[in-house]
Amino acid sequence: MPNILLRGFFFFFIVRPLVLLGLGLNIRNRAGLPTKGPAVIVANHNSHLDTLVILSLFPLALLPKVRPVAAADYFLRNPVLAWFATKVIGIIPVARSQQGGNPLALSFEALRRGEILIIFPEGSRGTPEEMTRFKKGIALISKKYPTVPVVPLFLHGLGKALPRGDAIFVPFFCDVFIGSPQAWQGDKEQFMHHLEEQMSDLATQGNFPLWD
């Protein structure tokens, strides 16, 4: 579980000023964000900033219940980064490859505790503003918890502010589009198809020009 005091300090004094002053946000359908768990937010992934921006959308009182899910091999090799990711950001680590056990077990436990998961089903960060096919772990989660709402969320602009491979932050306006919740539909392929369709629809709402 995240350290509540450290997490509140980090987001109030560092993340929120960065997001509001350094980036600026245009949020569509903010009322579509879940106000309690269990719930799952599914988002596209272009930048290290994606997680921080999504977390900044929630009130501080709810932050201890909002848990990003991320690949364990990226940060657990560094003990300092591992401590910060799990105790301050509140990340739930998932092993990309694991012998024995269920890599989604910690995510299942979080939903049983009534928490809100943030999942990037593309897996790793891709080319800015280009979505890749979703991995099907989100369908397994929804199948196990069919009454838990799955909320699509599309981010635009963060691939420009801090793209993959870059370490220099560039102020760039960010748009956030929040869709309608989806529930398990009884079939994995149908569920994934509908989710990807919803995300594509959100991506077209801004009428953005082609990324250069």
Note the pLDDT tens digit of each residue in 159-184: 665 555 555 556 667 889 999 999 89
The yes-or-no verdict on residue 59 having pLDDT over 60 is yes
CA-to-CA distance for 111 and 115, rounded, in angstroms?
5
Q: Write down the pLDDT at residue 3.
A: 78
Please report where in the chains the tokens 């929630």 appear, as a residue: 58
Is the backbone peptide bond immediately before 152 cis, with ω within 30 degrees of 0? no
In terms of pTM, does the model score above 0.95? Answer: no
What type of residue is 107?
S
Lateral strand order in the sheet of 116-119: 25-28, 174-178, 150-156, 39-43, 116-119, 66-71, 92-94
**Residue 44: closest CA among 144, 106, 166, 135:** 135
The better pLDDT of the pair 123, 53 is held by: 53
Task: Find which of 9-13, 14-18, 63-67, 74-78 is predicted with most confidence, using mean pLDDT.
Answer: 63-67
Strand pairing class (150-156; 174-178): antiparallel
**Residue 56 has which token pair?**
């900044």
Q: Write down the pLDDT at residue 122.
A: 81
CA-to-CA distance for 166 and 131, rounded, in angstroms?
19
Q: Write down the pLDDT at residue 167.
A: 52
CATH code of the domain made up of 4-204: 3.40.1130.10
Q: Write down the pLDDT at residue 7.
A: 87
What percent of the residues of the chain are helix, what percent strand, and what percent coil, each to the nearest 5? 40, 15, 40
Q: Write down the pLDDT at residue 58.
A: 94
Q: Write down the pLDDT at residue 212.
A: 46
Q: Write down the pLDDT at residue 39.
A: 98
pLDDT tens, residue by residue, 82-121: 888 888 999 998 876 655 578 899 999 999 999 999 999 8
Please, what is the average pLDDT of the chain?
Answer: 84
Q: Write down the pLDDT at residue 148.
A: 97
